[in-house]
Amino acid sequence: MFIKEYFKDIFSAIKSLLVGMRRTGYYFTHHKEIITQQYPDNRLELNLPERFRGEVVMTHDEVNEHACTGCSACELACPNGTIKIINKFDISPEGKKKKAIDTFVYHLELCTMCGLCVEACPTDAIKMANTFEHSVYTRGQLTKQLNKPDSKLRAGVE
Amino acid sequence: MVEEIGKTVEGDLVINVGPQHPATHGVLHLVITLNGETIKKVEPHLGYIHRSIEKMCESLSYRQFIYTTSRMDYLSAHINNHACALCVEKGLQIEVPERAQVIRVLMDELTRIASHELWWGAMAMDLGAFTPFFHAFRERETINDIMEETCGARLTMNYMVPGGVMADLHPNFQSRVKNFLQLYKSKIHEYDELVTGNIIFQNRMKGVGYLSAEDAISYGVTGPAGRGSGVSCDVRKLYPYEIYSKLQFDEVLETAGDSFARYMVRLREMQQSIRIVEQLIDNIPDGEYQAKTKAVLKLPKGEFYQRVETARGELGVYIVSEGGTTPYRIKFRSPGFSNLSALDHMTRGEKLGDLVASMGTLDLVIPDIDR
């Protein structure tokens, strides 16, 4: 009786092993079912979803105007102190003082891509871009100025 | 000679597994006392990945602190965020729109499937089988793509906000989830062929790492590990939150209490999650995805507690508020911590080779334990 059980065990073990091996063999011979992507080679056809959070950018239109009023809502919403807004005062032709941004400092090295700044922005001035290759040689390169040089606040945005 | 289990005597071998070890799923350090090949004591040393998330949360506002919890149990990030959002909503008494509730539950269940998928692959890898890992990742990748499209990130989503969810579902969401369900159903038989039915696998799992129901309760073991011992501890059934009380699903229970029971609980739990997703995917109600909330959230003075069922067990969020914009104290009751505490009891008197197998069935995520 014992010997019968013993050989039965061995037989069922080999059978279960073969069932598993058949599955492995199936994928060995069916190359079309393999879904692995060769990353650095497929860079050109790599399409990331538009919502993917890669870094914060400020949108500028063709005439180099943005929608940032310098209200600091994003600065307050950020949990890590990633954003620092330096404001200046423009003097309009009528002699009135008007607040505008001088520099929108963005520390990419502190950013966790939580998206809270974009949520908080009342004028949709900033958004998340889907670039993701951020490696640079020095840490200083990660501190960015988001507003382009000589850019202005779009008319009508309060 | 009377063997004293749990006491180091001369001639015992003390070895260190970890903190850098592929089988510990992170930086867990186990000090193991051995008598020959038999385990006398397992002492987990924690703190290698402690980031003081609880203390950090005290200086963040109620909107900001949620993102840190994605870094605790990174495999069920959605469910962690969900617990925090629910707790804040409880304090503020916000009514969450029905659409947001359905989206949240859908995301939770997809996360649970993805988490169990990864566990299944890692579990087989703990036992020396390498191929299942890639099979598991194929299905998991589909879920990650769905998450990426709707939430904007693959692991640390930060999608749940107090009052609802951050953005509406992506237009492709429904069709992609249906594709996933189809893919999953066409591939599920491979799991049994490759691993579950394998006699070598079964012999290594059955009767190993036994944990009785009484011990599971006294150690506070929850989630699939507790249900493998026959303890009914599914928070979704016992203390339903969101719309779980209206859904049709079973609480998976196994009574054997060994490693194989815990394995089967997780496999069957994936089926239940699929069932929940199938019920909801065609019935997402229209409406708002986020309730109107104030720009600055202030919880009233008091203490708030909310528990949810993550892929690993019961996660509790405890907030003490002094009435300000930041919490006075936040405490997380993480499932991994309690589950790990039972490891010593489970593996005493067993062979060293079975330690990793028993540990794998607990599904430990070390950042969740250390926080």
> Under a CB-based contact definition with an 8 Å cutoff, are residues B307 and B235 in contact?
yes
> Under a CB-based contact definition with an 8 Å cutoff, are residues A128 and A136 in contact?
no
Environment class of residue A21 by beta-carbon count within 10 Å: exposed (0-12), middle (13-18) or buried (19+)? middle
Of A35, A79, A128, the CB nearest to B64: A79
Of B63, B148, B170, the CB nearest to A116: B63
- The residue whose two tokens read 């809270």 is A116
pLDDT at B1: 41
User: Which run of H or E residues covers position A16?
Assistant: helix A2-29
Interface check A52 vs B, CB under 8 A: yes
List chain B pLDDT tens, one digit each, 371 residues.
Answer: 445 555 566 678 888 887 877 666 778 888 888 888 888 888 888 888 888 888 988 888 888 888 888 888 888 888 999 999 999 998 888 888 889 999 999 999 999 999 998 999 888 888 888 888 888 888 888 899 898 888 888 888 888 888 888 888 888 888 989 999 998 888 888 888 888 888 888 888 888 888 888 999 999 899 898 898 888 888 888 888 888 888 888 888 888 888 899 999 998 898 899 989 988 888 888 888 888 888 788 888 889 999 999 888 899 999 999 888 888 999 999 898 988 888 888 888 888 888 888 888 888 888 888 88
Residue B3's contacts (CB-CB under 8 Å, 6 or more residues apart) are B35
Q: Is B230 left (phi over 0), alpha (psi -120 to 50) or beta?
A: left
CA dist., res. B10 & res. A157, Å (int): 79
Residue in B216, B236, B238, B219 with CA at minimum distance from that of residue B227 = B216
Interface check A114 vs B, CB under 8 A: yes
C-alpha distances out from residue B214 to B5, B41, B227, B259, Å: 20, 20, 12, 17
Q: How far is CA B33 from the centre of its chain?
A: 29
Using the predicted structure, report yes or no on whether residue A33 has a pLDDT greater than 80: no
B243: its two tokens: 């719309």
User: Is CATH 3.30.70.1070 what the domain over B47-370 is classified as, yes or no?
Assistant: no
A137: its two tokens: 């040689």
Cα-based angle B271, B235, B220 (whole degrees, multiple of 5): 110
Residue in B234, B233, B232, B228 with CA at minimum distance from that of residue B261 = B228
CA dist., res. A56 & res. A123, Å (int): 15
CA dist., res. B47 & res. B28, Å (int): 8
Q: Do A116 and B131 touch (CB under 8 A)?
A: no
CA dist., res. B164 & res. B101, Å (int): 7
Whole-structure pTM value: 0.87
With the CA atoms of B255, B257, B259 and B264 taken in that order, what torsion angle do they form, in degrees rounded to the nearest 10? 20
pLDDT at A137: 92
Interface check B194 vs A, CB under 8 A: yes
CA dist., res. B262 & res. B256, Å (int): 9
% of chain A exceeding 70 in pLDDT: 99
> Under a CB-based contact definition with an 8 Å cutoff, are residues B225 and B261 in contact?
no
Sign of the Cα torsion B125, B127, B131, B135 reads negative
B253: its two tokens: 């229970």
Domain ranges of chain B: 47-370
Helices (H), chain B: 53-57, 66-69, 77-92, 98-126, 131-151, 173-191, 199-205, 213-219, 223-227, 235-238, 259-281, 335-341, 343-347, 355-362, 366-370
Residue A133's contacts (CB-CB under 8 Å, 6 or more residues apart) are none
Give the mean pLDDT of A123-129: 87
Using the predicted structure, report yes or no on whether residue A108 has a pLDDT greater than 70: yes
Task: Enter the DSSP assignment of B287.
Answer: S
pLDDT at B8: 60
Distance from CA of B172 to the nearest CA of A (A): 11
DSSP characters over A109-151: GG-----HHHHH-SS--EEEE-------SSGGGGEEE-SPTT-
> Under a CB-based contact definition with an 8 Å cutoff, are residues B108 and B81 in contact?
no
Using the predicted structure, report yes or no on whether residue A93 has a pLDDT greater than 80: no
Largest CA distance in chain B: 73
Q: Do A51 and B197 touch (CB under 8 A)?
A: no
Residue in chain A closest to B189 (alpha carbons) equals A23
Residue A156's contacts (CB-CB under 8 Å, 6 or more residues apart) are none
Among A8-22, A141-155, B16-30, the range scoring the smallest mean pLDDT is B16-30
> Under a CB-based contact definition with an 8 Å cutoff, are residues B24 and B36 in contact?
no
Output the average pLDDT for chain A: 84
Listed by number, the residues of chain A in 80-109 with a beta carbon closer than 8 Å to a beta carbon of chain B are none
Residues in B closer than 8 angstroms to A112, CB to CB, are 67, 156
Distance from CA of B132 to the nearest CA of A (A): 9
Bridge partners (DSSP) of residue A126 are A58
Residue in chain B closest to A118 (alpha carbons) equals B166
Residue in chain A closest to B161 (alpha carbons) equals A116
Q: Do A20 and B153 touch (CB under 8 A)?
A: no
pLDDT at B9: 66
Task: Enter the DSSP assignment of B169.
Answer: P
Q: Do A51 and B151 touch (CB under 8 A)?
A: yes
